[in-house]
Amino acid sequence: MKNGLRILCAVLTLAVLSGCATAPGKAADARDPWEGMNRSVYSFNDKLDQVALKPLAKAYVNVVPSPVRTGVNNFFGNLGDVWTATNSLLQFKGQAAVETAMRVVINTTFGLGGLLDVATEMRLPKRKEDFGQTLGHWGVPSGPYVVLPVFGPSTLRDTAALPLDAKGDLVQQVSDVSTRNSLTVLHATDTRAGLLQAVDVVKEAALDPYSFVRDAYLQKRRNDIYDGNPPSNFDYSDPDLQ
């Protein structure tokens, strides 16, 4: 909780101090009034990725057999289903909450603690819900687009939700510090390994990778909040409706 609050305070402070990053009223995109600051953080994250995260992910793929990587991905996915079920309940999505809870029970019991995704084979759909989506579901606007150090693309709403998302992350509730840190690094490595090809394609194909990532993130978050079915008259350029 404390770490999440520190992140939120840091983002708000940077936002205030970066008023000169883009001239008032001259932002290229109304959803991204802090573009100057965001591009700087994006550049920092990209350098960090090139130096540390990408090499680690490539080594992970080259050294760890595919079935083991699948098991690791399933394990963290099973832990994440607990928070997804909670947020589905908070959004009054009864069927989704029940089905996701059933996934956790089945995969934990019959899937060797979540290493095997038995629930998907039983046609229980995989969903992902977080507290940012819950806030959006109940009408809280996204606010400005924000790029967080290390964490990457976000919005002011999703950043405000980070403390509760951290509480809902079962890995962060592990009491032993060394075990918690090891699991965190493994989770980050597994996540980055799954994006190796996608990130390379974006960098090679997009004229402006920053804008591409921003637009893709905001569109995905809209689709997530509306379960893939945003209103037909949805104004995609209005930052208060994101």
| Residues 72-123: tens digit of each pLDDT | 999 999 999 999 999 999 999 999 999 999 999 999 999 999 999 999 999 9
Domain residue limits, the chain? 2-15+66-225
C-beta separation of 78 from 111 below 8 A: yes
The residue-averaged pLDDT of 199-212 equals 93
Kindly report the pTM of this predicted structure. 0.84
Q: How confident is the model at residue 8 (pLDDT cuts 50, 70, 90)?
A: very low
Q: How confident is the model at residue 241 (pLDDT cuts 50, 70, 90)?
A: low
pLDDT of residue 7: 47
pLDDT of residue 22: 45
C-beta separation of 99 from 56 below 8 A: no
pLDDT of residue 185: 97
Amino acid at 157: R
**Residue 199 in this model has a pLDDT that exceeds 70:** yes
H-helix segments, the chain:
2-17, 35-48, 54-63, 66-90, 94-110, 118-121, 131-137, 156-168, 177-193, 196-205, 209-225
How many Cβ atoms sit within 10 Å of the Cβ of residue 32?
24
C-beta separation of 132 from 126 below 8 A: no
3-class DSSP state of 49 = helix
Give the Cα separation of 145 and 115 in Å (integer): 35
- Looking at the chain, the whole-number percentage of residues with pLDDT higher than 70 is 85
pLDDT of residue 177: 97
Q: How do strand 145-148 and strand 152-155 relate by DSSP bridges?
A: antiparallel
Give the contacts of 9 (CB within 8 A, at least 6 positions apart): none
| Residues 133-158: tens digit of each pLDDT | 999 999 999 999 999 999 999 999 99
| Residues 41-54: tens digit of each pLDDT | 999 999 999 999 99
